[in-house]
Structure 1
Amino acid sequence: MIRALLVLLALAAPAAAEEVVAALSQDRVSISTSFDGSEILVFGAVKREAPVPEGGPLGVIVTIAGPDEAVIVRRKDRRFGIWINVEGIDVERAPSFYAVASSLPLGTSLSETEDLRWSISPRRKLRAVGATDMAGDTPAFLEALLRVRQDADLYAVKEETVALRDETLFSAEIALPSDLTEGNYDTRIFLTRDGAVIDVYATSIFVQKVGLERMIYNLAHEQPLIYGLLSLFIAISAGWLASTVFRYILP
């Protein structure tokens, strides 16, 4: 009975005035030994059953979030002449990669309330994660984490980089770095008008190591002892070979 009622309510609900119809240039990324990054083309259109509504300009926002990972953020302080970790926080989950591209400045196309609701900007995305307090000022540590990852090009905001034509067709290119974490990269496309989100489209990109990269990764995680011994053997062999070569070159 409850299920039937939900179905009836869904059928009775009015259709969205504007909907996202989108696709990606690729939904799988393979990481090999020669992988130096990739670019994902996001493109699509706005589907309407009526003329363009009156009001503020239409905004398109694209986000790509890598797999979550646990992070420890610590602050160093100089004590007794040496630098030591004095306090920090444990972040239970933070995106390993996060990119935002928009057709308008975020402040124009997205209200603070909607950003809080959907966790779109990197700052709101980090504030939404779980963090265990070990310090008195958790927001300051999250801001530091945000700064570090932005400097490493792991978090990025590219405003006004989504091309929107006649408030109907849109496209955006988002660069993925070379040091990607394996897993699903959740991709969301938001339509906004007057600062409010009016429709959302969600899909994902699967990133996986292949070839030699896959073999090394599996060996390191599934057979760490063998991986360590093999690494030690390679290091010793390389050192011996280098010393032999220099002995012949420089008698």
Structure 2
Amino acid sequence: MRVLTSLAFLAALIVPASTQATEEQVVLGLSRDRVAITANFDGSDILIFGAIKRETPIPDGDPLQVIVSVSGPSAPVLVRRKEKKLGIWVNADSVLVDSAPSFYAVATSSPFHEAISDTEDLRHKISIKRAIRSVGADMNIQNAQEFAEAVVRIRANERLYSIRENTVAVDEQTLFRTEIDMPANLTEGNYSARIFLTRGGKVVSTYQTTIDVQKVGLERFLFNLSRQQPIVYGLMSLAIAIAAGWGASAAFRALRGT
């Protein structure tokens, strides 16, 4: 079962008091702010769409570009490098990547390098490499940057990291929409959705909101039980395993008897 979550633009306009009349603003809101992970959950398509509010006509010059990013909860990641010694693969160096989002997807209305400059990317930390923070590593470790790159490579293979260029549709430089595909192996927590408007590679407006991703039903009960009362959870699991084994044995004996 795939879940459809949409971000719909609001009827009310959100304009900060300090906003100048010539500034373009994102008009966006949440029609649904929760993704429920159930037993048959196999992913979620997040539909994001909105509008651009202006006090003046569309500016001449560079066309409007839209960048949308969705990121999951961040946490440190310990990355180990394996080496082959005496014919056996063993752990060698290790680096603790200070912070890496559990999920990260970026959608753009044009090629990424055309939608935003490197300076603005550094400032807002939009690209995947900028979203991962690795302060430093032991001086004895060579090519420490490869450990952060390994995190990106592994999670990209698991469909947790992606950059989706030319997937944001922009109509008349006023309406925009895109769809972010989220896999089944999501981490629980608050997911941040950010929208950036850019012209000539420079960010002219931003908007941010949150999507709550949580287990529900039996999955939620078992998850909480395993964390809050691990002994009870272990005993219950053992009892279920014994009952299942006894039931299978009884059924097998009955079949042999017939």
Q: 2:59 aligns with which of 9, 32, 53?
A: 53
Q: What's the counterpart of residue 33 of structure 1?
A: 39
Deviations 1:35-80 (A, max 9, x none): 2211111111111111111221211000011011221111111112
Q: What's the counterpart of residue 88 of structure 2?
A: 82
Q: Residues 90 and 131 of structure 1 are in contact (CA less than 8 Å); yes or no, is this contact kept in structure 2?
A: no
Q: What's the counterpart of residue 50 of structure 2?
A: 44
CA distance in 2, matches of 1:22, 1:191: 12
CA distance in 2, matches of 1:77, 1:244: 50
Q: Which moved more, 1:22-31 or 1:237-246?
A: 237-246
CA distance in 1, matches of 2:18, 2:52: 22
Using a 3 Å threshold, how does the CA distance of structure 1 residues 142 and 11 change in structure 2: closer, same or farther?
Answer: same
Q: Residues 63 and 99 of structure 1 are in contact (CA less than 8 Å); yes or no, is this contact kept in structure 2?
A: yes
Indicate whether 1:133 and 2:127 are aligned: no
Using a 3 Å threshold, how does the CA distance of structure 1 residues 25 and 37 change in structure 2: closer, same or farther?
Answer: farther
Q: What's the counterpart of residue 210 of structure 2?
A: 204
Q: What's the counterpart of residue 96 of structure 1?
A: 102
Q: What's the counterpart of residue 180 of structure 1?
A: 186
- Report the AA paired with residue 90 of structure 1: L
Q: Residues 89 and 138 of structure 1 are in contact (CA less than 8 Å); yes or no, is this contact kept in structure 2?
A: yes
Deviations 1:88-143 (A, max 9, x none): 211232111111111111011111111111111111111xx245524332211111
For structure 2, the 5+ residue unaligned runs are 1-15
Q: Residues 21 and 54 of structure 2 are in contact (CA less than 8 Å); yes or no, is this contact kept in structure 1?
A: no
Q: 1:165 aligns with which of 153, 168, 171?
A: 171
How many residue pairs match? The answer is: 240
CA distance in 1, matches of 2:57, 2:162: 34
Q: Residues 25 and 41 of structure 1 are in contact (CA less than 8 Å); yes or no, is this contact kept in structure 2?
A: no
Q: Residues 64 and 99 of structure 1 are in contact (CA less than 8 Å); yes or no, is this contact kept in structure 2?
A: yes
Using a 3 Å threshold, how does the CA distance of structure 1 residues 247 and 42 change in structure 2: closer, same or farther?
Answer: same
Identical amino acids, percent of aligned pairs: 51
- Report the AA paired with residue 102 of structure 1: T
Q: Indicate the structure whose relative CO is greater, using CA pairs within 8 Å and at least 6 residues apart.
A: 1
Q: Residues 24 and 43 of structure 1 are in contact (CA less than 8 Å); yes or no, is this contact kept in structure 2?
A: no
Q: Residues 21 and 55 of structure 2 are in contact (CA less than 8 Å); yes or no, is this contact kept in structure 1?
A: no
Indicate whether 1:109 and 2:125 are aligned: no
Q: What's the counterpart of residue 200 of structure 2?
A: 194
CA distance in 1, matches of 2:213, 2:99: 19
- Report the AA paired with residue 106 of structure 1: F
CA distance in 1, matches of 2:52, 2:223: 41
Q: What's the counterpart of residue 156 of structure 2?
A: 150
- Report the AA paired with residue 145 of structure 2: P
Using a 3 Å threshold, how does the CA distance of structure 1 residues 12 and 99 change in structure 2: closer, same or farther?
Answer: closer
Q: Residues 65 and 115 of structure 2 are in contact (CA less than 8 Å); yes or no, is this contact kept in structure 1?
A: yes
Q: 1:65 aligns with which of 71, 75, 83?
A: 71
| C-alpha displacement of 1:18 | 1.0
Q: Residues 41 and 174 of structure 1 are in contact (CA less than 8 Å); yes or no, is this contact kept in structure 2?
A: yes
CA distance in 2, matches of 1:218, 1:12: 45
- Report the AA paired with residue 133 of structure 1: A
Q: Residues 23 and 42 of structure 1 are in contact (CA less than 8 Å); yes or no, is this contact kept in structure 2?
A: no
Q: Residues 220 and 227 of structure 1 are in contact (CA less than 8 Å); yes or no, is this contact kept in structure 2?
A: yes
- Report the AA paired with residue 219 of structure 1: L
CA distance in 2, matches of 1:146, 1:200: 25
SS at match of 2:191: strand
Q: Residues 71 and 105 of structure 2 are in contact (CA less than 8 Å); yes or no, is this contact kept in structure 1?
A: yes
Q: Residues 70 and 193 of structure 2 are in contact (CA less than 8 Å); yes or no, is this contact kept in structure 1?
A: yes
